[in-house]
């Protein structure tokens, strides 16, 4: 009798275990399905998002090139918008990588020379120009940059052992006419949102390009074999040097005459600081509406270190902007604060504004205590800046809107924290993160996606 009872108990126990086993197996299949979805489907969908953005930003860059050329030729400012990055679809059970942020920047300047080869000072003029690079931050697609270079727009995959893909051909030479557009001013923006580039022609300067037969030398990143020998420029009208300085820059030399040459100068965000390098240059471009009525940019007062960029044009306008001589503690959430000069103070420091921009190379420091920088409605941009704290260093934006850009910046403190908006980005590429003693430090990102890798130090999310 007891044996039968024991047998019945075992059967009941087995029946109780069976549903549990079923649930475990079902849960295992669910985890496997989600894992496969994460590995296979999510990258495909994100690649589609990136591909759509790549097409959109390509169109933006085509329009930007056209705006640069048009600004000088019609003597009117142009405004071109570039969508720097994008965001992926929101996911519930799977995970997206950080939103792909993009960066657009101008390079260091290189000289354009115009000479009649007379050997006299007035026989040669020099005008600086820059290239533009757009670098995407895709997680799935190729990250090759797009360049604007000597009027050519192209995708450059040479660093990945590829080649170039020309998007828009050269516009320097057309039917024997040589049209030079020099691009000036330093500019850099990163993020996933839109950025508007203001393209401002130089104020008209009427002078004389050297008379007679001219040699015009234009810097370019493209060799003869890579591009120039495939253009329709007659072979007897141009030549190109090798990369003599091993810096990736070639000299494109064009043979023309004074009557067949036009030179325009266009500045990014502001009118060119030096439309011409001497008064002998004939530079196209009409009167600009930026800065003073003469087209020049106002100078920040010598005693001031920062100003409120009231109209958002990125330059100090004496008629409308408020300059500040000292900003140890600053609290004005309506101001778009731009810090142009070093600001070093003792004690706790709190800088709070609608948006905060610290120029490259500028130091903002608390020598012996905390440094806190907050934006209430916009971004914190400190690309290439130096931020130092004797104790805690904190950067934070509004929780609903704002990115933090500390690319190529130096951040020093015993505790370093950054908090962007929920959908924002903290851009750290090339940053130096260090303790107060100079040893490698760590930045804790409390909110926002991380984009890039520091050159020194670590990121903790």
Which residues are CB-neighbours of 226 under 8 A, at least 6 positions away?
163, 164
Tell me if 407 sits within 8 A of 381, measured CB to CB: no
In angstroms, rounded to a whole number, what is the distance separating the alpha carbons of residues 235 and 254? 10
Give the pLDDT score at 314: 75
The CA distances from residue 416 to 201, 373, 395, 411, in Å, are 42, 12, 8, 8
The reply to whether the predicted model has a pTM over 0.75 is no
Instruction: Give the Cα separation of 282 and 119 in Å (integer).
Output: 19
Dihedral of CA atoms 25, 26, 31, 36 in degrees, nearest 10, equals: 100
The answer to whether residues 308 and 336 touch, using CB atoms and an 8 Å cutoff, is yes
Residue 230's contacts (CB-CB under 8 Å, 6 or more residues apart) are none
pLDDT of residue 395: 97
Q: Are 54 and 136 in contact (CB under 8 A)?
A: yes
- Measured CA to CA, the distance from residue 240 to residue 229 in angstroms comes to 10
Ramachandran category for residue 162: left, alpha or beta (phi over 0 → left; psi -120 to 50 → alpha): beta
Q: What are phi and psi of 374, to 5 degrees?
A: -130, 145
Q: What pLDDT score was predicted for residue 3?
A: 54
Residue 69, CA distances (Å) to 76, 81, 251, 285, 294 in order: 11, 15, 21, 11, 22
Return the number of other C-beta atoms located less than 10 Å from residue 174's C-beta.
11
Phi-psi category of residue 55: left, alpha or beta, with phi > 0 → left and psi -120 to 50 → alpha: alpha
Using an 8 Å Cβ cutoff, are 446 and 426 in contact? no
Lookup: tokens for 212: 């007679």
Q: Which of 113, 100, 221 is nearest to 166 (CA)?
A: 221
> Which residue in the block uniquely carries the two structure tokens 């029946």?
15
CA distance 112 to 133: 19
User: What pLDDT score does 293 carry?
Assistant: 37
Q: pLDDT tens string for the chain (461 positions)?
A: 455 555 555 555 556 666 777 778 887 878 888 888 888 889 999 999 999 999 999 999 999 999 999 988 887 889 999 999 999 998 888 888 888 989 999 998 999 999 998 887 778 888 899 999 999 999 999 999 999 999 999 999 998 889 999 999 999 999 889 999 999 988 888 888 888 899 988 864 445 678 889 999 999 999 999 999 999 999 888 998 877 677 889 999 999 998 899 998 999 988 775 544 333 333 333 333 334 333 344 688 989 999 999 877 777 888 889 999 989 999 999 999 999 999 999 999 999 999 999 998 899 999 999 999 999 999 999 988 999 999 999 999 998 889 999 988 999 999 999 999 988 889 898 899 999 988 999 999 999 988 888 989 999 98
């Amino acid at each position: 009798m007891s044996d039968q009872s024991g047998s019945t108990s075992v059967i009941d126990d087995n029946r109780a275990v069976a549903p549990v086993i079923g649930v475990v197996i079902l849960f295992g299949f669910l985890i496997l399905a989600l894992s496969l979805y994460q590995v296979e489907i999510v990258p495909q969908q994100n690649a589609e998002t990136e591909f759509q953005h790549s097409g959109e930003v390509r169109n933006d860059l085509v329009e930007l090139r056209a705006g640069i050329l048009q600004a000088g030729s019609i003597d009117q400012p142009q405004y071109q918008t570039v969508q720097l990055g994008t965001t992926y679809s929101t996911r519930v059970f799977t995970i997206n990588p950080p939103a792909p942020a993009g960066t657009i920047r101008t390079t260091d300047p290189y000289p354009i020379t115009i000479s009649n080869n007379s050997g006299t000072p007035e026989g040669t003029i020099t005008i600086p120009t820059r290239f533009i690079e757009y670098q995407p931050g895709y997680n799935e697609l190729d990250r090759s940059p797009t360049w604007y270079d000597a009027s050519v727009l192209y995708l450059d995959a040479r660093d990945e052992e590829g080649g170039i893909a020309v998007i828009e051909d050269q516009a320097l030479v057309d039917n024997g006419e040589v049209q030079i557009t020099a691009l000036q001013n330093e500019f850099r923006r990163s993020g996933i949102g839109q950025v508007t580039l203001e393209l401002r022609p130089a104020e008209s300067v009427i002078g004389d390009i050297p008379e007679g037969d001219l040699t015009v030398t234009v810097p370019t990143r493209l060799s003869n074999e890579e591009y120039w020998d495939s253009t329709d420029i007659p072979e007897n009208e141009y030549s190109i040097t090798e990369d003599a300085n091993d810096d990736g820059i070639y000299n494109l030399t064009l043979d023309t005459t004074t009557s067949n040459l036009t030179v325009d100068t266009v500045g990014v965000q502001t009118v060119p600081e030096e439309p011409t390098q001497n008064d002998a240059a004939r530079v196209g471009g009409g009167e600009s509406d930026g800065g003073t009525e003469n087209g020049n940019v106002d100078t920040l007062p010598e005693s001031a270190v920062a100003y409120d960029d009231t109209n958002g044009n990125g330059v100090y306008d004496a008629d409308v902007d408020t300059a500040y001589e000292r900003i140890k503690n600053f609290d004005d959430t309506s101001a778009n604060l731009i810090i142009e000069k070093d600001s070093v103070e003792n004690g706790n420091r709190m800088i709070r504004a609608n948006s905060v921009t610290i120029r490259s190379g500028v130091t903002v420091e608390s020598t012996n205590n905390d440094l806190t920088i907050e934006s209430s409605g916009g971004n914190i941009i400190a690309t290439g800046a130096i931020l130092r704290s004797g104790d805690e260093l904190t950067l934070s934006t509004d929780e609903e809107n704002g990115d933090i850009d500390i690319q190529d910046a130096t951040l020093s403190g015993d505790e370093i924290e950054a908090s962007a908006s929920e959908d924002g980005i903290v851009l750290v590429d090339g940053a130096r993160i260090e303790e107060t003693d100079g040893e490698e430090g760590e930045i804790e990102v409390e909110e926002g996606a991380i984009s890039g890798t520091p050159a020194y130090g670590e990121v903790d999310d």
